[in-house]
């Protein structure tokens, strides 16, 4: 191989390796994030409680849950629909938004019922929202799902700002004002075992029974009808003293559709651990589920509820499973290409070496054929043949090959020896046949070969 061709091959190999290295770097760059930013709700609210229970479960797999408080469901929705925001996932209350395709959000799972409680004062029994007309009513804080749903429910019952006093305040304020008489009724939302609900249920305030629950659920499919059983607060005191019908929204765990699939599976596992038990309103295993149509269901959630976690995540640590899924599987085409190159390279090198030997074998065969054709050579022809075989021998001795090809080199030398003997036999004939006409000069076959294939 000439120096110019050798440099060209080396340059090409370097460029190929550089291209492969660049491709590997591009593939490996977007590694899985180790922090999930979640938007919840009030610091002591139901959503914050969920997130606080998720955090240690995710931490076991090396994922940090960065919990950010908010005013509630409406604000969470606004944060997640902002493509430039740092928020990855959040809780959204069913029925509090009007999702659009441009939101690029997906439901990971429905995780819990959110009972809506209406507590009131007075001697009269209230079981219809229309009976609150003309009263002072707390309906939640701005940005919360409760504010939205309470306005909708009251509006369809004919209660609005023109005939009643609708006040926006948090649960603590509403409880205090309701207890000291500055409010007539208030909407609350949360689990029965939450601190605020326990205060309300154990107070002298009355809990409204939604007598029109079936009609309201029919009108608002995002709501569900629940029964708070008699004596659920206290069996000893028989509180409440009758079953109470409630309305409930559903808490949805929602994420941006760009969230990595491996993290979706981890969140689903955490949700199953936190919400999979039974409580006042649900049987064991009711939540999490996919019984919602507000946002598109993530593909990972569909697969999870059908067949569980991916195979690798079931049997390998999360970091190793995600490494294989995210990196090695993507690198398979590069690995296949590299394997093909590694398999082809020895054959290419061997073909190159063999070619250098074949050239001289061809020269030897051509010389031997000429000797056999000429039965009565002249001394000049014999001298020419001797010069050629010595040139071939000299050039063959200069061939540089790895040790494993030495047997091929010596086989070539053996062939040279055979032809050299044949020339000696021809020389003996030439000496016995003096005066043979000279057929003219014979062109050497070794000049071009020695210049191209010597090295």
**For residue 425, is it within any domain?**
yes
| CATH code of 280's domain | 3.40.190.10
- In 3-state terms, what secondary structure has residue 263? helix
Q: Is 298 left (phi over 0), alpha (psi -120 to 50) or beta?
A: beta
What single-letter DSSP state applies at residue 281?
S
* Number of Cβ atoms within 10 Å of the Cβ of 195: 12
Can you give the pLDDT at residue 29? 46
CA distance readout (Å), 14 to 7, 8, 210, 340, 342? 11, 10, 77, 17, 15
- pLDDT tens string 236-266: 999 999 999 999 999 999 999 999 888 999 9
Q: Are residues 304 and 348 located together in one domain of the fold? A: no
Mean pLDDT of 286-297: 93
How far is the C-alpha of 56 from the C-alpha of 43, rounded, in Å? Answer: 18
**For residue 30, is it within any domain?**
no
Number of domains within the chain = 2
Q: Are residues 199 and 275 located together in one domain of the fold? A: yes
Q: Are residues 298 and 378 located together in one domain of the fold? A: no
**For residue 151, is it within any domain?**
yes
Mean pLDDT of 277-282: 85
pTM of the model: 0.65
**For residue 289, is it within any domain?**
yes
Mean pLDDT of 46-54: 94
Question: At 259, phi and psi to the nearest 5?
Answer: -65, 135
Least confident of 63-72, 173-182, 209-218, 384-393: 384-393
Comparing 92 with 409, the larger pLDDT belongs to 92
Can you give the pLDDT at residue 76? 96
Least confident of 5-14, 55-64, 226-235, 242-251: 5-14
Q: Are residues 179 and 91 located together in one domain of the fold? A: yes
How far is the C-alpha of 320 from the C-alpha of 302, rounded, in Å? Answer: 23
Q: Which two tokens stand for residue 57?
A: 């479960």
Can you give the pLDDT at residue 298? 94
User: Using 50, 70 and 90 to split pLDDT, how confident is the model at 359?
Assistant: confident
How far is the C-alpha of 317 from the C-alpha of 266, rounded, in Å? Answer: 12
224 and 248 Cβ atoms separated by less than 8 Å: yes
Domain boundary among 309, 335, 358: 309
How far is the C-alpha of 269 from the C-alpha of 321, rounded, in Å? Answer: 15
Q: Which two tokens stand for residue 319?
A: 């970091």
The answer, yes or no, to whether residue 230 has pLDDT greater than 80, is: yes
The answer, yes or no, to whether residue 220 has pLDDT greater than 80, is: yes
**For residue 317, is it within any domain?**
no
Q: Are residues 115 and 188 located together in one domain of the fold? A: yes
**For residue 107, is it within any domain?**
yes
What single-letter DSSP state applies at residue 234?
B
**For residue 17, is it within any domain?**
no
Domain boundary among 259, 290, 309: 309
Q: Residue 100 belongs to what domain range?
A: 35-309
The neighbouring-strand residues paired with 247 are 116, 225
Q: Which two tokens stand for residue 46?
A: 């139901």
| Residue-averaged pLDDT of the chain | 84
Q: Are residues 181 and 85 located together in one domain of the fold? A: yes
Q: Which two tokens stand for residue 370?
A: 């000429």
Q: Are residues 401 and 293 located together in one domain of the fold? A: no
Q: Are residues 104 and 43 located together in one domain of the fold? A: yes
- pLDDT tens string 55-75: 999 999 889 999 999 999 999
Mean pLDDT of 365-389: 83
Least confident of 36-50, 155-169, 335-349, 386-400: 335-349
Can you give the pLDDT at residue 286? 93
User: Using 50, 70 and 90 to split pLDDT, how confident is the model at 28?
Assistant: very low
Question: At 106, phi and psi to the nearest 5?
Answer: -145, 145
Closest CA to 33 of 3, 61, 75, 12: 61
Least confident of 108-112, 193-197, 362-366: 362-366
Can you give the pLDDT at residue 398? 73
Can you give the pLDDT at residue 442? 47
Contacts of 272 (CB under 8 A, 6+ apart): 288
How far is the C-alpha of 29 from the C-alpha of 450, rounded, in Å? Answer: 52
- pLDDT tens string 124-139: 999 999 999 999 999 9
User: Using 50, 70 and 90 to split pLDDT, how confident is the model at 93?
Assistant: very high
| Helix then strand then coil, % of the chain, to nearest 5 | 50, 15, 35
Q: Are residues 368 and 302 located together in one domain of the fold? A: no
User: Using 50, 70 and 90 to split pLDDT, how confident is the model at 454?
Assistant: very low
**For residue 169, is it within any domain?**
yes
Can you give the pLDDT at residue 390? 85
Helical residues (DSSP H) of 282-327, grouped into ranges? 299-307, 311-315, 318-323
Comparing 90 with 336, the larger pLDDT belongs to 90
């Amino acid at each position: 191989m000439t120096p110019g061709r050798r440099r060209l091959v080396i340059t090409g190999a370097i460029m190929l390796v550089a291209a492969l290295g660049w491709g590997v770097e591009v593939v490996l760059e977007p590694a899985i994030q180790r922090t999930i930013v979640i938007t919840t709700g009030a610091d002591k609210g139901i959503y914050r409680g969920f997130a606080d229970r998720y955090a240690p479960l995710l931490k076991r797999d090396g994922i940090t849950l960065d919990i950010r408080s908010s005013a509630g469901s409406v604000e969470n929705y606004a944060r997640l629909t902002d493509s430039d925001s740092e928020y990855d996932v959040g809780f959204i209350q069913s029925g509090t938004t009007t999702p659009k395709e441009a939101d690029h959000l997906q439901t990971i799972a429905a995780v819990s019922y959110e009972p809506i409680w209406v507590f009131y004062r007075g001697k009269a029994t209230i079981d219809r929202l229309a009976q609150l007309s003309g009263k002072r009513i707390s309906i939640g804080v701005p940005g919360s799902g409760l504010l939205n749903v309470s306005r909708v429910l009251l509006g369809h019952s004919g209660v609005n700002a023109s005939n009643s006093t609708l006040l926006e305040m948090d649960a603590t304020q509403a409880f205090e004002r309701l207890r000291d008489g500055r409010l007539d009724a208030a909407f609350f939302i949360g689990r029965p075992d939450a601190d605020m609900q326990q205060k309300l249920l154990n107070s002298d305030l009355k809990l409204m029974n939604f007598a029109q629950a079936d009609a309201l659920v029919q009108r608002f499919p995002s709501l569900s009808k629940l029964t708070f059983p008699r004596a659920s607060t206290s069996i000893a005191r028989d509180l409440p003293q009758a079953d109470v019908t409630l309305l409930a929204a559903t808490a949805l765990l929602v994420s941006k559709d760009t969230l990595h699939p491996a993290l979706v599976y981890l969140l689903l596992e955490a949700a199953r651990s936190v919400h999979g038990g039974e409580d006042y309103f649900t049987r064991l295993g009711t939540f999490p589920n996919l019984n919602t149509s507000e946002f598109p269901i993530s593909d990972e959630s569909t697969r999870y509820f059908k067949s569980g976690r991916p195979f690798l995540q079931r049997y390998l640590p999360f970091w190793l499973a995600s490494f294989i899924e995210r990196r090695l599987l993507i690198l398979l085409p590069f690995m296949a290409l590299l394997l093909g190159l590694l398999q082809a390279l020895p054959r290419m090198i061997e073909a190159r070496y063999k070619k250098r030997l074949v050239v001289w074998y061809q020269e030897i065969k051509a010389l031997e054929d000429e000797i056999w054709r000429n039965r009565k050579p002249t001394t000049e022809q014999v001298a020419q043949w001797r010069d050629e075989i010595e040139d071939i021998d000299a050039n063959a001795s200069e061939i540089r090959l790895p040790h494993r090809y030495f047997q091929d080199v010596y086989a070539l030398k053996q062939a040279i020896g055979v032809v050299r003997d044949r020339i000696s036999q021809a020389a003996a004939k030439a000496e016995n046949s003096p005066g043979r006409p000279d057929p003219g000069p014979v062109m050497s076959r070794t000049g071009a070969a020695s210049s191209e294939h010597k090295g």
